[in-house]
Amino acid sequence: MADGNQDIENGENRALEEIRAPLIAGDDDSGRSLKGKSCEEERCMVYLSTFVAVCGSYAFGSCAGYSSPTQAAIREDVNLSLAEYSLFGSILTFGAMIGAITSGKIADFIGRKGAMIVSSLFCTAGWLSIYFAQGPVPLDVGRLATGYGMGVFSYVVPVFIAELAPKDLRGALTTINQLMICTGVSVSFIIGTLLTWRALALVGIIPCAVLLFGLCIIPESPRWLAKQGKQKEFEASLRRLRGKNADISAEAAEIQLISFLYSNKFGLVGQTSLSHKLLGTFVLYAVVNALAILFVIEFVPETKGRTLEQIQAAVNAS
């Protein structure tokens, strides 16, 4: 009889353990789920800041893709020759070159957000100049201004994203920069077949307006603030990006150490040495491109000895 009672008690204990087991596992899964959800909520500002920044990348793409779908309409409405339109299309790259050269100094002097504001204002002014243009000069001035904005965007957007993103998201978020540039080019080409060239210029202002509004909400790059010695602003910016409950002490110490090393004389020597090592790569790249252009001009039968109008006519005929 005693053995029977013991067997019953053992059976009841096993049944209770089976009941408890899924409840305990469920609690663990629930805890992990809540922790993951909390982590994503804390990174909302990182995602928002990235979205605002890549509006500049989209503006870059829309500037680059503008001239292709609008060529025939602009030449007809403003009575441009092919050479004048070629200048309109290519002067963008000259403005981008100037913007790229000055972008680093601007971003270091007035901050990453300040540099994006400058870029947006140049692009907006350029689009308005193109919209109201009645001749080649306003078109070229507007195109030059949008090119300058492009050049600054090409530097400051990926730098800003890389400086605010945590290590595990840095690669993925910086990739969005290139994705949005390609998206801007594609969308500009697609809607350019549906809108007039003046309306397409107004559409180009939209990402700039979104960017300017968004910059009022998102924080400045914490790494730039640390470099400027703005300790309180640096900690507040990093806290907003990582969340109120996040431990930022280790990351803050790392950022401050890197900022100190870059401002140190030894850091400057290292940067100078690195710039000399990279110089050959850029020279070789420029020489290869120059040789490619000379080859097309001098040796390709379809372009040798022909004017731009003749080349365009041959392309259209094919």
Q: Of 16-25, 79-88, 182-191, 297-306, where does mean pLDDT reach its minimum? A: 16-25
More confident: 253 or 236 = 236
Averaged pLDDT for residues 247-266: 72
pLDDT value of residue 26: 46
Among 181-195, 222-236, 268-282, which range has the highest average pLDDT?
181-195
HEC string of 27-72?
A: HHHHHHHHHHHHHHHHCHHHHHHHHHHHHHHHHHHHHHCCHHHHHH
**Residue 82 burial (CB count, 10 A):** 16
pLDDT value of residue 272: 52
More confident: 11 or 228 = 228
pLDDT value of residue 246: 76
Among 226-235, 271-280, 282-291, 294-303, which range has the highest average pLDDT?
226-235
Averaged pLDDT for residues 213-234: 91
Averaged pLDDT for residues 217-230: 90
| Residue 305 pLDDT greater than 50, yes or no | yes
Q: How confident is the model at residue 256 (pLDDT cuts 50, 70, 90)?
A: confident
HEC string of 187-246?
A: HHHHHHCCCCHHHHHHHCHHHHHHHHHHCCCCCCCHHHHHHCCCHHHHHHHHHHHHCCCC
Q: Write the pLDDT tens digit of every residue in 104-114.
A: 999 999 999 99
- Residue 90: name the closest of 117, 122, 68 by CA: 68
Q: Of 162-166, 175-179, 192-196, 255-259, where does mean pLDDT reach its minimum? A: 255-259
| Residue 276 pLDDT greater than 70, yes or no | no
Both tokens of 258, joined, read 């890197």
For the chain, give every domain's residue range: 43-243, 271-307
Q: How confident is the model at residue 35 (pLDDT cuts 50, 70, 90)?
A: very low
Separation between Cα atoms, residue 70 and residue 80, nearest integer Å: 12
Averaged pLDDT for residues 79-100: 92
Both tokens of 169, joined, read 């998201």
CATH fold for domain 43-243: Growth Hormone; Chain: A; (1.20.1250)
**Residue 137 burial (CB count, 10 A):** 10
pLDDT value of residue 251: 77
pLDDT value of residue 30: 47
pLDDT value of residue 292: 78
Q: Write the pLDDT tens digit of every residue in 58-70.
A: 999 999 999 989 9
Quick check: 206 and 124 in contact, CB under 8 A? no
Q: Is 98 exposed, middle or buried, given 0-12, 13-18 or 19+ CB atoms closer than 10 A?
A: middle
For the chain, give the mean pLDDT.
82
The span from the first CA to the last CA of the chain, in angstroms, equals 103
Averaged pLDDT for residues 66-76: 92
